[in-house]
Amino acid sequence: MNSTELFSRTSPLKLFFIASIPGAISMFASALYYTIEGIFVGHYLGSTAFAALNLALPFVIINFSLADLIGVGSSVPISICLGKGQRHEADNIFTCASVMILLAGVLIGGALYLSAPLLIRLMGAEGDFARHAVQYFRVYALCSPLTTILFAVDNYLRICGYIRGSLFINIFMSVLCTVFEFIFLGIFGWGIWAAALGTCLGMATCSVIAFVPFFRGKALLHLRRPRFSLNMIKRIVACGSPNFLNNIAGRLTSIILNFILVRMGGETAVSVYGILMFAEGLIQPLLYGMCDALQPAVGYNFGAGKYSRVRAIEKCCFTSSAVISLSAVILIFSLPELLTGLFVADPGPEIIKMSCFALRLFAFTYVTRWISFATQSFMLAIGNPKPATLISVSTAIVFPVILIALLFPMGLTGIWLNFSVTALLSALLALIILKRNLNKVHLPDISS
């Protein structure tokens, strides 16, 4: 079945299972390498290296954010153009976006490589703590031209109906990264730079594999001679801004929190924050992958004017997001010691006590996190990026920074509470936006 038939004729519930379940598994698999990397670094290289990884990781993700901006931002207009039958325009957007991502990888990666020592020093890290962080950061920066495009091509594969192919590539990437890191750290005994190198080698290999259908001309989208225009670039930036700003703002918030944690609790506090982020890394990919996998179908049907199908698909998206989120609450709250031991080898009493307390407070984040997540994805899928951007920026930086100030007198407890309170405020904002925008796009109320 080609993507046109899948998006336009398959029943919404069947479409949900065909697209979103593999999408969620695919995104989970593609994000799993970060978790495995954290486990390997914590167990093979020790707590200082694990803390250094968590100090540098926000900068690494910022390096990927521009590619995500272009990849997600181009996927929305590509899907809408295909829904309208404008295939040549869809091909041009796809080609231009691919070129833009490669150029951005060279420029941004080079700038981050040169600035790595300064950035880590400004965070307050010294000695081995700083040295490990710089080594880890620089490997990702050097490899960015060959790695960052993987996040975009994953979207393009799903648009073309290669849902299983996307799933295979992401699973293969996690396996490949795991094998490389085990060899480099567990067998050769190399340093933290080798952890980053193992991941980058796996990602670069899969980037090449993912483009094979496009190089062969077998996919729905085709590589053409690119025709850039200011309007096209503006459209890509507008549609990609919610995810981009969420990534950038979220990483800036992480940098601010790490800056405070280094001074409040040193390496131990930074390590506990890292455990929270790795726990999130086991859940958020499921939400993101599921919602993201449905965006091409929502955009296609919206472009074709099939609003009842859009509503039905989104009902599935909201319901499943709630199920995943509430399941996460139970798991995180019930298994804090297991999660702590997963990332820190032989944790002492201090880190166990701090981590278990922090994880139980963090668990309540997912009571309401699904509301803002699904709403943001819906607004983006129908080409309405402004409300999606508002939710994204508020969730990633506005609410957290305000709460840092308000909860500062509570010390580390205030930091751990920040996540769940932010999720609650974001959910309230999302519900307001959802009510106001449904009438504008002529859709029945899917929030009821």
Of the candidates 25, 24, 29, 294, the residue with the CA atom closest to the CA atom of residue 170: 29
Q: What torsion do the CA atoms of 52, 250, 60, 366 make, to the nearest 10 degrees?
A: 70
Q: ∠ CA 313-314-320 to the nearest 5 degrees?
A: 95
Most confident listed range (50-54, 92-96, 389-393, 394-398): 92-96
pLDDT at position 394 over 60 = yes
Band of residue 79 on the pLDDT scale cut at 50, 70, 90: confident
Band of residue 444 on the pLDDT scale cut at 50, 70, 90: very low
Segment 282-305 shows an average pLDDT of 81
Residue 447 placed within a domain = no
The one-letter amino acid code at 294 reads: L
Q: Give the pLDDT score at 339.
A: 87
Residue 359 placed within a domain = yes
Contacts of 130 (CB under 8 A, 6+ apart): 52, 117, 120, 121
Band of residue 256 on the pLDDT scale cut at 50, 70, 90: very high
Q: Is the model more confident about 356 or about 27? A: 356
Q: Give the pLDDT score at 364.
A: 95
pLDDT at position 404 over 90 = yes
Residue 35 placed within a domain = yes
Domain around 104:
3-438
Least confident range from 19-28, 194-203, 339-348: namely: 19-28
Q: Please, are residues 139 and 196 in contact by the beta-carbon 8 Å criterion?
A: yes
pLDDT at position 408 over 70 = yes
Structural domains of the chain, count: 1
Q: Give the pLDDT score at 448.
A: 44
Supply the Cα-derived Rg of the chain in whole angstroms: 21
Q: Is the model more confident about 174 or about 367? A: 367
- What would the pLDDT profile of 7-21 be if each residue is shown by its tens digit? 777 888 888 778 777
Q: Give the pLDDT score at 29.
A: 74
What whole-number distance in Å separates Cα of residue 384 and Cα of residue 377?
Answer: 10
Residue 265 placed within a domain = yes
What whole-number distance in Å separates Cα of residue 106 and Cα of residue 141?
Answer: 9
Mean pLDDT of the chain: 87
Most confident listed range (8-12, 57-61, 292-296): 57-61
Band of residue 446 on the pLDDT scale cut at 50, 70, 90: very low
Residue 446 placed within a domain = no
Band of residue 30 on the pLDDT scale cut at 50, 70, 90: low
Whose tokens are 């100090």? That residue is: 55
Q: Is the model more confident about 448 or about 327? A: 327
Q: Please, are residues 422 and 395 in contact by the beta-carbon 8 Å criterion?
A: yes
Q: Give the pLDDT score at 386.
A: 84
- What would the pLDDT profile of 323-361 be if each residue is shown by its tens digit? 999 999 999 999 999 888 888 777 778 889 999 999 999
What whole-number distance in Å separates Cα of residue 53 and Cα of residue 37?
Answer: 9
Contacts of 218 (CB under 8 A, 6+ apart): none
What whole-number distance in Å separates Cα of residue 47 and Cα of residue 25?
Answer: 30
Q: Give the pLDDT score at 309.
A: 85
Q: Is the model more confident about 243 or about 142? A: 142
Segment 28-46 shows an average pLDDT of 83
What whole-number distance in Å separates Cα of residue 56 and Cα of residue 71?
Answer: 24
Q: Please, are residues 55 and 123 in contact by the beta-carbon 8 Å criterion?
A: yes
Residue 21 placed within a domain = yes
| Distance, C-alpha 189 to centroid of its chain | 30
Q: Give the pLDDT score at 4.
A: 65
Q: Give the pLDDT score at 46.
A: 87
Q: Give the pLDDT score at 440.
A: 53
Residue 56 placed within a domain = yes
Whose tokens are 């085709």? That residue is: 222
For every residue of 141-184, DSSP letters joined together read: HHHHHHHTHHHHHHHHHHHTT-HHHHHHHHHHHHHHHHHHHIII
pLDDT at position 378 over 80 = yes
Using a 10 angstrom Cβ sphere, with 0-12 exposed, 13-18 middle and 19 or more buried, the burial of residue 43 is middle
- Per-residue DSSP letter, 186: I
Whose tokens are 């278990």? That residue is: 356
Three-class SS of residue 347? coil
pLDDT at position 91 over 90 = yes
Largest Cα–Cα separation, the chain? 62
pLDDT at position 443 over 60 = no
pLDDT at position 287 over 60 = yes
Residue 283 placed within a domain = yes
pTM for the whole thing?
A: 0.71
